[in-house]
Structure 1
Amino acid sequence: MGSPTWLTIVAATAVHCVASPIPEVSLELYVVPYLLGNLILYTYLYKEGLSTVEIIFNLTTINTCFLLTSVILTITRRLFFSPLAKFPGPKLAAISGFWNANEGRLGRASRTRKALHDKFQSDIIRIGPNELSVNRVDAIERLYGKDYRRGAFVPVFNISGGDNLVTQRDNQLHSVWRRMWVKAFSRDKFSDYLNRIQSHVNKAVRLLHEKAGNPVECGKFLDALTFDVISDIAFSQDTKFQDGAGDRSLIDGIHVFVPMIPVLGNLPHLQQICRYLPEPPAGRKFSEYRDRVLATRKSLKGQPNDIFAHLELPDASTGIRMRPIDLKQHILFMMIVGAHSVGTTLTRTLAVLASQPHVQSSIRQELNEVFHGEGTAPVETIRKLKYLDCVVREALRMFGPVTDGTAVIVPKGGITLESGSFIPGGTQVWVGQYVIMFNEEYFPRPHEFLPERWMNLGDEGHRNEGELVKDRRAWIPFGYGPHSCGGRALAIEELKQIVLKIVMEFDIRFVEHEDMPFQYEHWADSWKDYFLAMIDEIELRFVPR
């Protein structure tokens, strides 16, 4: 082995020792020095008078030796010397983020994590070179109750530039933006939003009456409803999806983008490469839509009464304003989270109600006992319906808008959980919604849709609260603390309004073909986890009562 080879091994070892302790190293900091080193080496070999063939041979040999040494050192460190080596988990996950990306590609990441917790009988499992999944309720407050930095996954949502409330990793700026969101959901605004939502729900009910009990592809129907709702209350615009006049390619574009989320999210360097690539057709479609939204808002007379109006104004305390590119990012963010996710949750909820007619009957009975008027029950009455609230809570536990939530970066010095487990600083940690809300320790019989589990729970206490809810702190469909969804209260009321109105007007039934009963359990288990849930099509019949 010649001296150049030894020097290459030494150089690779030195680079590894410097770079490996750093949790996040940008692609540019890897690639630019590497290319610069090769350029310097090429110049040196050229000045030494070597031929082109000799230069290529030497560069190939040195690069192969450098990269091979780096790979061996990286694998060895991650498997045996990493501070996370003490936690159980797949060896391939410890070696590379490609394992997590592949689980995401297959749409099974959250279920795989839950299975690993069960297999290893451990509250903490290692799911990446620098990642852990935690399945303990006390970790929620410990990790998400603080302003810890968000993980490296979330920039997948801002590849096109700018930031939104989810992707903003600067804690100070995130706090400012969150104040803007809170103002958008003040009490007077909230009531107005609910009344506007009700008008869209009434339109949906009229359309279902026109179907007269014929099969309805529920996913597309509810997508149209929820996109009309969010366009109205967020941007004061009528997309007319329910009228059949909206640009359906926007919804289809989201369905194309969502499966890419876990792959790119788990491979941060691939995210960075994508930022240098031309925008794909679906991305251009979104860009055009965002531009139209902003242009249309400029033509509105007066100050619109919607969510976006509060994001356009400067923060009262700091004077900070969102950049135009950040406002554009929030448009896409609200379309995905406020429309697609709600539509998916609604579809799965109506499907489970079709499988349990007695739950539909109980919802009707509760309203009939307190409301004897004609037409739609007032918003104030709906908000007081206890059983309906339990139905929606259980739906959000089982069919929540996100499956894995947001990862956080443990601060320098690390943290210790109540169990005594120490998590080193710089580690990316997940407490996934699916993992924690299907934990039998907190929710017995977790795979059963049981609205009654939420009945008669006291207002105080966390542990041993009931037979079917052992610790309500584990109910986190919208996240927790500074990392939670700012519009969660409105989303819950929206779900209540839609479920109640449809159940009061119709019997929800499955479509049976040639006397073959619909296999609900098979359909319910066919969903894919792409950070957001994706479901197969399902036809339901809404039979007028």
Structure 2
Amino acid sequence: MSYHQILFGAAGVGVVAVVIFSLCRILFNVFSHPLALIPGPTIAAASNLWLIWRTFTLRKCETLHECLAKYGPVVRIAPDKILISSQKDIKTIYGIGTKCLKSEFYPQWGLNGASNIFSTTDPKDHSVRRSITARTFSKKSVMQFMPELVKHAQALAERLESLSKPSGNSYPTVEFVKLARYLALDMLGSSVLSEDFGLLKRGIEHPFVHDLDSAALVIPTRATVHSWLWAILKRLPIPQWQHHLGGERRLAHYAANTVEAAFSEAAQGKTEGLALVSSYANYEAPDGGRLSTERIVGEVAAVYFAGTDTTSITLSLMVYEIACRPDVQRRLRDEIIEKAGSGSSGLRYDTLENECAYLNAVISEGLRLYGAIPSHLERVVPAGGITLSTGHQVPAGSVVGVQAYSLHRDPAVFPNPDAFDPNRWFHATPEMRKSLSPWGFGSRICMGMHLAYVEFRLALAVLFGNFEVSFPASFDHNDMRMRNFWFVFPQGGKLDVVVKPLSAEVRGDFHIEA
């Protein structure tokens, strides 16, 4: 027998062995796995590939929601993964002090190799990071940035005014998603880096805007696919793909310059900075140690990544729904202008928060339908397993999660759940308020929620207090169908609207004061 015959024979045996092993694994997963009795699609029980495929078709949330409707409140969505739709189990899985820790999905979200408050799976490490970050993102701290945040909202109104000058009897089209992103970055600049980017003022993109796009493509991909596949993907010699892979590095490089400046100020005795970068630069551990530049850069870059497209896309989808409903737009405008006219020095933020009931109902409804991260948040079952409220015994090592997308569309809690109906919040039940969870659950709840609420209230107030928003004749509503690849986004990637300034008689002396 020749050498080549031996080689090909061995290769053939190897292929057969791999096929037999794979078939045995599939049969075990479907029929003998500890989770085999939990209902769900057979193909999902057989392999992780089904869930990965649904992720890359950008319909994971909808698909899993359909599974819950078909199979019940506990569904097997992968060989070792379970999706749960039950308020009663949230405390067990996500509550403070839970032993269900984040899965291995999360460390892949460390930017440029540096872990951050989102990617860390160690509860003690997260606690330290959270204690530092809370100084900036607590509600009290966010209020201290209000003069800057109001200034950015006013810059949005000024930019819209300049872009909406009519040509004859027609008004130009404005791409709102881009402006919402500028607003998010400007507000993060003030609160995270103590820096005024002035993107809305100048209408010019910061270089890292496109790097955020790259990171939003690369990081979820890396976190979703198998490690061996990622090792292949990241070596593909495609120039555009390699450029995207460098987005994290470029974000980190920009953040590093700002962090070094903050360290310099700290060394000179400046310890009063409120921005996140100052909080990290001035942090001193109980043993007197300081945080490294790399760690702070990772944290700051992560905040930019997590805090830009989340709020800007959710805001844009809210604006889309309001533009679709003239009755909603009219009622929202009437409330805002009425409240502005009742004050002696313009409309203040505390009025928006505490007295504009319809505005806040619109925001709640927008968050219900378009929360930025609606899919399940994975947690690993600890030693000893857990018992769900449904009676299911879940063994240690299994991955469990609750999907906000489904909680927000439960018809028993939200009648006519697919409709955008702000009025439902005027007779909200305790179950509705409890089910609204766009920020996550437990101790890992999004720390940027207070800043996001400020952004939503200010942006909607300046937009609908100054303009009438409608669609161009060529508008295709299919482009606004929500897709999800970890973050949500409109199918067409943009929102083209016609923004017509209100007459002086309608608008009056509308303006916002800090």
TM-score normalised by L of structure 1: 0.81
The answer on 1:153 being equivalent to 2:105 is: yes
- Determine if contact 1:154/1:406 at 8 Å carries over to the other structure: no
Pair 1:506–1:148, CA change in 2 (3 A): same
- Contact conserved, 1:89 with 1:116, CA < 8 A, in 2? yes
Partner of 2:190: 232
Instruction: Find out whether 1:68 has 2:27 as its counterpart.
Output: no
Partner of residue 449, structure 1: 420
Query: What secondary structure, in the 3-state scheme, does the structure 2 residue paired with 1:224 have?
Result: helix
Flag the 1:480–1:419 CA change in 2: closer, same or farther, 3 A: same
Is the aligned partner of 1:539 residue 2:496?
yes
Structure 2: gaps of 5 or more residues = 165-170, 236-241, 503-514
Aligned to 1:529, the other structure's residue is in SS state strand
Check whether the contact 1:101–1:264 (CA below 8 A) recurs between aligned residues. no
Q: Equivalent residue for 1:169?
A: 121
Aligned to 2:433: 472
Q: Which residue number in structure 1 is paired with residue 43 of structure 2?
A: 92
Match of 2:250 among 257, 282, 285: 285
Q: Counterpart amino acid of 1:530?
A: F
- Superimposed CA distance per residue, residues 253-305 of structure 1 (whole angstroms, 9 cap, x where no aligned partner): 33333244444323342487379868833333323323333234345573432
Hey, which bits of structure 1, 4+ residues long, moved more than 6 A?
none
Contact 1:180/1:315, CA 8 A, preserved across alignment = no
Matched, 1:126 2:95: no
Deviates further, 226-235 or 268-277: 268-277
Q: Tell me, which stretches of 5 or more residues in structure 1 are unaligned? A: 1-49, 458-464
Q: Distance in 1 between matches of 2:194 and 2:320?
A: 31
Which residue, out of 439, 446, 456, partners 1:485? 446
Any conservation in 2 of the 1:405–1:531 contact (CA below 8 Å)?
no
- How far apart, CA to CA, are the structure 2 residues paired with 1:319 and 1:472? 43
Q: Which residue, out of 23, 26, 31, partners 1:80?
A: 31
The 8 Å contact of residues 104 and 263 in structure 1, kept in 2 or not, is answered as no
- Give the partner amino acid of 1:281: G
- Give 1:218 deviation, angstroms: 0.8
Aligned residues of 1:105 and 1:262 also touching (Cα < 8 A)? no
> Partners of 2:218 and 2:90 in 1: how far apart?
27
User: 1:139: Cα distance to partner?
Assistant: 2.0
CA distance in 2, matches of 1:190, 1:474: 26
Per-residue CA deviations over 1:112-167 (Å, capped at 9, x if unaligned) read: 101111233x1111111111111112122221112521022222312631211111
Change in Cα spacing, 1:51 to 1:312, as seen in structure 2 (3 Å) is farther
Which amino acid in the other structure matches residue 173 of structure 1?
A: D
Query: 1:448 aligns to what SS in structure 2?
Result: coil
Looking at structure 1, the residues matched to 466 and 279 of structure 2 have their Cα atoms a distance apart, in angstroms, of: 36
Q: Which amino acid aligns with 2:498?
A: R
Where does residue 140 of structure 1 map in the other structure? 90
1:160-180: per-residue Cα shift (whole Å, max 9, x none)?
Answer: 312111110011111221122
Aligned pair count reads 479
- Counterpart for residue 369 of structure 2: 398
Residue 419 (structure 1) aligned to one of 385, 390, 415:
390
Matches within 5 A, 1:116-515: 116-120=67-71, 122-145=72-95, 146-158=98-110, 160-186=112-138, 188-212=140-164, 213-244=171-202, 247-270=205-228, 273=231, 280-298=245-263, 302-303=270-271, 304-314=273-283, 322-371=291-340, 372-373=342-343, 376-384=346-354, 385-457=356-428, 465=429, 470-513=431-474
Q: Which moved more, 1:229-238 or 1:177-186?
A: 177-186
Separation in 1 of the partners of 2:319 and 2:345? Answer: 21
Partner SS state of residue 283, structure 1: helix
Equivalent residue for 1:524, pick from 460, 480, 484: 480
Q: Which moved more, 1:145-154 or 1:295-304?
A: 295-304
Alpha-carbon deviation of 1:472?
2.3
3-state secondary structure, aligned to 2:40? coil
- Cα distance in 2 for residues equivalent to 1:185 and 1:470: 27
Structure 2 letter corresponding to 1:490? L
Asked if structure 2 preserves the Cα contact closer than 8 Å seen for 1:89 and 1:125, the reply is: yes
Quote the offset at 1:448 in angstroms.
0.8
Task: Give distance in 2, aligned partners of 1:117 and 1:258.
Answer: 28
Relative to structure 2, which stretch is displaced further, 528-537 or 88-97?
A: 88-97
Change (3 A) 1:112 1:315: farther
Would you say the 8 A contact 1:265–1:271 is kept in 2?
no
Distance 2:488 2:472 in 1: 23
The amino acid across from 2:489 in the alignment is M
1:166 counterpart SS class: coil
In structure 2, distance between residues paired with 1:286 and 1:151: 25
The 8 Å contact of residues 219 and 343 in structure 1, kept in 2 or not, is answered as: yes
- Residue of structure 1 aligned with 2:58, choices 96, 107, 114: 107
Structure 2 CA distance for partners of 1:143 and 1:394, relative to 1, 3 Å: same
Q: Tell me if the contact between 2:337 and 2:465 (Cα under 8 Å) persists in the aligned partners.
A: no
Q: 2 CA distance for matches of 1:275 and 1:294?
A: 32
Superimposed CA distance per residue, residues 2-23 of structure 1 (whole angstroms, 9 cap, x where no aligned partner): xxxxxxxxxxxxxxxxxxxxxx
2:313 aligned partner, one-letter code: T
Supply the distance in 2 between the matched residues of 1:360 and 1:433 (Cα, whole angstroms).
27
- When residues 503 and 245 of structure 1 are mapped into structure 2, their CA distance, relative to the original with a 3 A threshold, is closer
Which amino acid in 2 is paired with 1:174? Answer: H
- CA contact under 8 A between 2:84 and 2:402: conserved in structure 1? yes
SS of 1:455's equivalent in the other structure is helix
Distance 2:152 2:301 in 1: 21
Distance 1:316 1:505 in 2: 48
Amino acid at match of 2:157: V
Counterpart of 1:119 in structure 2: which amino acid? K
